[in-house]
Structure 1
Amino acid sequence: MGLPMDNNIHAPTVPSGPTTTNTGFGDLSKLSMVELMDQKERIESELSALSGILSSHGVDMNTSLTTPDGFPRNDIDVAQIRTTRVRIIHLRNDHKEVMKHIEKGLHAHFAALQQNANATTSSLTDPPSTLATARVVTTLPTRTGAIGAPFAKVNSVVNGSPADSAGLKMGDAIRYFGYFGEVNWVNHEHLSWVSEVVQQNEGRPLEVRVVRRKDSGPETMELSLELTPRRNWGGRGLLGCHLVPL
């Protein structure tokens, strides 16, 4: 009879920090925004496929791979699951590195937009404070596929908050958070990445794509909302809404 294996068999040991980024992408700082987005899409596509492998075994990244008495489970391919989990961890690290460089490019882009806006503000009839909080709501074709799966739900929205001004409503399911889908179901890390993006973009507009049920019937629609995190709006936090993971 074999001996029980380590209870941590389900938790692969992986060095922290980026792994394949340096060898797979080269110098990210030299890539254009289009090339960075291509890398982002490639990573997310592979992550989606790997997630499918875990789902086919009925497990996720945290499911125990041992029996209560410490033996490897014989109803699943433990070796394949461990290998898949290690690859997912590597890719998540790579994704974070790519997103950091995309974020830098976005900041430069919005800085240029702000300069252009400042040059034309005097010709507009609305006061700057109104323009800064103007709502942008666009109905979009609903995306399909695992990458577009909602990862969070709006549990509450405070009246007069940035979230309220952006048009977020209780019950909205968030599909993407941040321009170019910075945060999605693949990388939100129990919504911690949402918090990080919000902190890093105070005063800057962020795109939030939500799925909302129509007032009549079971149909849903996808909306693109422009949300600007800010302080001093009269309440707590930078958004004024409460999100819960799905």
Structure 2
Amino acid sequence: MSSNIEVESCKVDSEDAVKLHARIFKPRREEHEERPNSNLAIVLVHPFSLLGGCQALLRGIASGLAANGYTAVTFDTRGAGKSTGRATLTGFAEVKDVIAVCRWVCQNLGVDKIVLVGSSAGAPIAGSAVDQVEQVVGYVSLGYPFGLMASVLFGRHHKSILQSLKPKLFVMGTRDGFTSVSQLKNKLKSASGRTETHLIEGVSHFQMEGPHYDSDMVNLICNFISSL
């Protein structure tokens, strides 16, 4: 891990007495104070916990964001990693966890702007939280599962992010096994506000989740934040 960043662990209280285990990735203080975006944090939501998703999968991206001068926060949703509680099939209880972490970040890290980033199943969960947290100023989806099979579980999340007026970026590989390029484009036709897409040619869903593409994800997120 880069020597110019600091990592701290903390616990966040969500609803239903759930304790969430979180990690804060920060540039070293002297570098962070020079950044124009020192009042902004990036909160990352990991893939489906019932299939082994946890915050460790986002460590590379969070470290890269911190190395670029941003405070990044990862956490285990309920029932994942060291967090208490029980994971759910549809991710609606996990939306409460995202909201709790965002509020904790604003109260404890001295920021008043948040960009939410969701990976795979974390994308619909994060998307449902976007308009429930006033401080969220933008949203990035990494492999949103819009396809028919995935929509059985996550379809009720779609409306929240598609109707949000906050700026949105959808990143996907053209060989994503859960969502085809045409399905993505059809869904985003109904999206409100500023909505952008970035397609990575020839890459599958799980390839894009892998560490080989962490630096690409970091660059895309940083460029999106710079455009806000």
Q: TM-score range, shorter-chain basis? A: under 0.3
Higher relative contact order (CA 8 A, sep 6+): 1
Structure number with the higher strand fraction is: 2
Larger Rg: 1
